[in-house]
Every structure is written in structure tokens, then in C-alpha cells.
Amino acid sequence: MLKGKKLKLPDRLGSLVAGFEDKDEDSGGSGSVSELGEELEILQPTGFRSDRESETDDDHDHNEVQEEEPMVKRKMKVDAELEHNGRQLRHEKDGLSHISVIKTIEVDEKRSDIEYEISQKEINLEKLQRIASTGIPEGGNLRATVWKLILGYLPPSRDLWEKELSENRKKYAKLKEELLLTPSELARMKEEAFQSNKHNNAHNDTAGPLIRHEISHEDHPLSLGKASVWHQYFEHTEIAEQIDRDLQRTHPEMKFFSGESSFGRKHRESMRNVLLLFSKLNPAIRYVQGMNEVLAPLYYVFSTDTDEKNASNAEADSFSCFVLLLSDSVDHFCQQLDNSSVGILSTLSRLSDLLKANDEELWRHLEFTSKVKPQYYGFRWITLLLTQEFNLQSILRIWDSLISSPFGIQEMLLRVCCAMLLCVKSRLLSGDFAANLKLLQHYPEINIEHLLQVAQDLTPDTS
């Protein structure tokens, strides 16, 4: 057994009308034909119309002005609103642009800081952890290198990197040869090596009868003895089938892991080798469903390393880092240890105590009112390191903080789990057993940076 902000733009402007078309009133002017018997009106010498006609026209013009005034005012009001909203939208866009520039500068500075730290002959791991815990910039090979350093796969001395990597990768290749090849394949390789050596040592003119090799009882495919290599091989066939089924369900939305392309099959084959080898080397634990989810972030990060040599050795590097990552939590997968001090029930109890220390009201509601015990949601959160609660990009960011935390991976993991509860407090307090269970087993989208800050600021449990 191993030891161990995002700003939100305002809603789009409504269908405000930019203006109104002025409708001309139909006016039929004064007629020049007089009815019979009507007294003709005398035109004034000044050329002006009569008082009666002027009064009529004045009244008509006054009415037109009265009708147009509200329309003009409304148009002016609409124009003013559009101008105001336009200025506000431009202001918010300017604000977003300003924030984007600031974030870009911060990311570039962080990238420069990490590159500087890992370029040193002797790397200050404490300082590197402090920077990486706030998030490692995407791209390049920064995350792959930092994770390997902090997990202990790479030594702090840069001069030893090449030697350590070479030795670890050779060890992995040897383990694969010994444990993952079928007995017949292994026997064939041994025979080929034997014949090659014999050919090199033999004289060209020497001839003799063919030698018949006896097959020992342990090497016979039908042998039922526990020492039989075939018995051991068939024993893991069922585990291999379970691994294959689980890998088909690993991040199915990503072509990197899924599909029947040679690309997807290659990645699944590599992950299968890692998980099957781990199972054979840890017979007390073997493979537990969900380990594929824990392996996925490591393998993805190492496979997408921009250093081609590192990327081509992602399988070997992932195996070693997978073992290191689980070193202090592998007992969570061992059912026989569930009730021990290192088992999963003890860890779930620590999560409950941490929640009580930070929000007794929420703790009481979950524990006594809705009766949603940590076992119902926390088991998966903790054993699978939150890999089934968020998308891969969010998982990578969370793992930056988990792996780099000065508290240690398990302690920081409990803090994040507790923060997840606190961030949906209002919904939990208003929910019953069914609603709360559904909420926590299908955790909603959340601002990851806010979640991690809440986790960082928690009061530690001192009970």
C-alpha cells in the first residue's frame, strides 16, 4: 500500500424607436368659388386676408403645433435615452477593455515569474508554489513542468532533470514489459533474445538438432496455480475490461479522449496501460472505478506539453505523477480502511468539522434539518479530487491550487469542498433533502477564482 469576474454586459437595448415620421396634415385651403347668395368679401389693399380667414388659419396652425409638440418632445426623449444608453454601453465596453488589459498584464507577469523561477539552477519550490497556487498561465509547458516539480517527480536541481527523467522512463518501460505483456509475448521475446545470443556465439559451420524447450507448470496457460504467469494474467482481464469501459466515458465531450480516431485510441491505450499497471503493482487496492478521472488531467497536461520529447513520454510521466498524487489519499480507495483514521469516513468527518467551524447554521441545517450527510456528496468530491464536478479547464485551475497549496493537497481539497457548500448556502438553507442532494451531486457553475478565494480564507478547524 502506498503511504503517504467575469463582468456581465447589460441586456441589449430594447427596440427603442429612433424617431417618428412627421405626418403632414391634409389641409384643403380656402376655396375661391362662392356659393350663390353668399356675400363677397372685400380684399384688403394691404394684401392681407380678412380677419375671419386669418383667425381660421391661425387656429389651424395652433392646433398643428399643439399636435407636433408632444411628438417632438417624445422624439427628443428617445434620442436622449439612446444617447445615454450608447454612452453607458461605450463606458462599460471601455471598462471591460481596461480590465482585459489589466488581466493580460497580470498573466504575462505571472508567466515571466514562473519562467524565471524554473530557469534557476536550484529552484525555490516554496516561492514557486506561492506563485502557482494563484493559477498557472495556459500554453507552453509551464503547467506540466510546475506540476512535476511540486509533486516531486522532478528534483529542484535542474542539472539532474535529464538523468531523473531518463531513469524513470526506463523503469516504466521495464515494468510494462514485465507486467503488461501477455505471457506468450514475453516468452517469445525471451526466446528471440536467447536465439540471438546463441547465433552470435555459434560457429557458422556448426549444425545440430533443434532443441525442444520444455514448458514449466507455471508457464502453462491452463495452470491454476497462483504462481502461474497465465493465472495472474487472466486475473486482471476483468479489471482491464472495467478500465476500458471507464475510459470510454472519460470526458466524452473532448476529442482528445473520445472517438474512434487513431488520436483518441492512442490516448486511451496509454491511460489504460497506466491504470492497469497501477492495479497490478497495488494488489490491495487494484483499480477502483473513477481513477480514470483522476489520471485524465495529468495525462492531458503532459501530453499537450510543447516540448515534443516530454509529450512523447506522457504515459511514463503520468504514471509516476499519478502514484505521487495519490500517495497521501490512496487509503480512501481501500474499503477495509474506511473506518480507520486514514479512511474516507475519517476524512468526511473532518470536512463536517471544517464546515461547523466556519458556518454552524449551514452545518446544522445539513446535519439535522435536511439530513444530507457528507457521505452522500463528499465521497465522490474527495476520492476523485473534484474531477467529476467541473469541466476540465476548471479542474486544471483548481488543481493548480491543490498541488501548490502550502497546506497540502488533502487539506486544501477539504477547504475547497467546504467553500463549495458555503457558496450555495442560501439554496441549501431553503432546500429539503431531495433538493439539496440534487444540488450537491450536480454542482452548479461557479466563478472558480471566487471559490478558491473563499477556500483560502476559511478558518481552520481547531477542534
Asked if residue 7 has pLDDT above 90, the reply is no
pLDDT above 70 coverage of the chain, percent = 67
Residue 309 has a pLDDT of 97
Of 175, 179, 142, nearest in space to 310 by CA = 142
Q: Which residues neighbour 406 within 8 Å (Cβ) at sequence distance 6 or greater?
A: 126, 129, 130, 133
Residue 397 has a pLDDT of 98
Q: What's the mean per-residue pLDDT of the chain?
A: 81
Query: Is-above-0.85 flag for pTM?
Result: no
* The C-alpha cell that represents 29 in the structure block: 385651403
The alpha carbon of residue 144 and the mean position of all alpha carbons in its chain are separated, in whole angstroms, by 16
424 vs 49, residue with greater confidence = 424
* The C-alpha cell that represents 226 in the structure block: 497462483
63-80 tens-digit pLDDT: 554 555 666 666 666 666
Residue 349 has a pLDDT of 97
Residue 235 has a pLDDT of 75
* The C-alpha cell that represents 433 in the structure block: 433533502
Task: Count other C-beta atoms under 10 Å from residue 260's C-beta.
Answer: 7
Residue 100 has a pLDDT of 79
Confidence of residue 216 (pLDDT cuts 50, 70, 90): low
Separation CA 461–CA 353 (nearest Å): 7
Average pLDDT estimate for 227-247? 82
The H or E element that residue 106 is part of is helix 51-119
Average pLDDT estimate for 179-198? 61
Task: Read off the amino acid at residue 319.
Answer: F
Confidence of residue 101 (pLDDT cuts 50, 70, 90): confident
Of 398, 193, 377, 220, nearest in space to 294 by CA = 398
Residue 175: half-sphere exposure toward Cβ, Cα within 13 Å:
19
Q: Are 419 and 354 in contact (CB under 8 A)?
A: no
Residue 400 has a pLDDT of 98
Cross-strand bridge partners of residue 157: 122
Lowest mean pLDDT among 5-9, 123-127, 140-144: 5-9
What does the DSSP assignment read for 159-196? Answer: GGHHHHHHHHHHHHHHHHHHHTS-HHHHHHHHHHHHHH
The total number of residues shown for the chain amounts to 463
pLDDT above 90 coverage of the chain, percent = 58
Residue 139 has a pLDDT of 85
366-421 tens-digit pLDDT: 999 999 999 999 999 999 999 999 999 999 999 999 999 999 999 999 999 999 99
Average pLDDT estimate for 260-286? 94
323-377 tens-digit pLDDT: 999 998 989 998 888 989 989 999 999 999 999 999 999 999 999 999 999 999 9
14-66 tens-digit pLDDT: 333 333 344 444 444 444 444 433 444 444 444 444 444 444 455 555 555 45
Task: Read off the amino acid at residue 292.
Answer: N
* Whole-number Cα distances in Å, 45 to 42, 52, 256, 293: 9, 16, 98, 103
Separation CA 402–CA 414 (nearest Å): 10
Q: Are 330 and 285 in contact (CB under 8 A)?
A: yes
The alpha carbon of residue 230 and the mean position of all alpha carbons in its chain are separated, in whole angstroms, by 41
* Whole-number Cα distances in Å, 287 to 132, 236, 282, 283, 323: 31, 10, 8, 9, 12
What does the DSSP assignment read for 77-102? Answer: HHHHHHHHHHHHHHHHHHHHHHHHHH
Task: Count other C-beta atoms under 10 Å from residue 65's C-beta.
Answer: 10
350-375 in b/e form (b: 16+ CB < 10 A) is: bbbbbbbbbbeebbebbbeebebebe
Residue 219 has a pLDDT of 57
Residue 231 has a pLDDT of 65
Average pLDDT estimate for 177-189? 70
Average pLDDT estimate for 283-291? 93
Residue 220 has a pLDDT of 52
Separation CA 328–CA 326 (nearest Å): 6
